[in-house]
Amino acid sequence: MLKVAPILLAVLYGLILYRFSAWRTAKELDAKSTELADPRLKKLTDKMAAALDLDRIKVHIYEIDPVNGLAAPDGRIFITRGFFRKYQQGEVSGEEMASVIAHELGHVALGHSRRRMIDFSGQNALRTVLAMVLSRFLPGIGVWIANSLTMLLTARLSRSDEYEADAYASALLVKTGIGTAAQKSLFGKLEELTQQRSGAVPAWLMSHPKTHERIRAIEALEAKWQAQT
């Protein structure tokens, strides 16, 4: 039988590591961010706030160059300076930026950060169990196989979160009258904006779904909503 102590230690280690990572992220964001102040984007976020029965939606600019948006573990929404610069240069529209904010709101509303803490701890425990079992039969490579399988699981869970946040954003954008056209058009730009090529790695290793799959999922939602009206 497997010993329980190493598994419990793996879970505890995962919890501590996640908490430390969240603390370090919050400290980094505090030091390198300011509140977004853009009149056009505020009009769009005010529409979303009204739809969600909120006074306002506070968005921050994270002072780094890579193009990205993120939802911090504490619930704050961030757009990177690099992403905001693309908007200022006209490469990204206000509605497209609003779709990013809506997506990050989805991560917050759906509790993905809290779920990731549980998942991270569970995955750490799973990695430990797999390594213990596989190392008995495959000495030397059992740990490598365990790490690879856990990475695949992590990527799959991350993609699931992205689909859920996309769906939340779509519903919110439709409710506010902004619509999903900008959300879908942004997906078509993301690879170029981030200078990444999804074909460079197998789809099942990616933490985000492929662009055409995300667009197809949104269109399936739109078709479902249209059929219900």
Sign of CA dihedral 61, 63, 69, 75: negative
Nearest to 79 by CA among 44, 128, 120: 44
CB atoms within 10 A of CB 59: 24
Q: What confidence score (pLDDT) does residue 58 get?
A: 94
Query: Token pair 């479902």 is at which residue?
Result: 224
Query: Token pair 């757009």 is at which residue?
Result: 79
Residue 9 structure tokens: 């230690």
10-residue mean pLDDT profile of the chain (229 residues): values are 55 58 74 90 96 95 91 89 95 96 94 66 57 63 64 69 94 95 91 61 57 92 86
Q: What confidence score (pLDDT) does residue 102 get?
A: 97
Q: Are 47 and 102 in contact (CB under 8 A)?
A: no
Q: What confidence score (pLDDT) does residue 201 get?
A: 46
Residue 185 structure tokens: 């058009």
Q: What confidence score (pLDDT) does residue 172 get?
A: 97
Q: What confidence score (pLDDT) does residue 95 get?
A: 97
Q: What confidence score (pLDDT) does residue 169 get?
A: 97
Residue 23 structure tokens: 């603390």
Q: Side-chain half-sphere of 164: how many Cα atoms within 13 Å?
A: 15
Compute φ and ψ for 206, nearest 5 degrees.
Answer: -85, 145
CB atoms within 10 A of CB 213: 16
CA distances from 221 to 48, 49, 104, 162, 216 (A): 19, 22, 19, 15, 9
Q: pTM score > 0.75 for this model?
A: no
Q: What confidence score (pLDDT) does residue 44 get?
A: 96
Burial of residue 223 (number of CB atoms within 10 Å: 0-12, 13-18, 19+): exposed
Q: Are 76 and 27 in contact (CB under 8 A)?
A: no
Strand (E) or helix (H) holding 136: helix 112-137
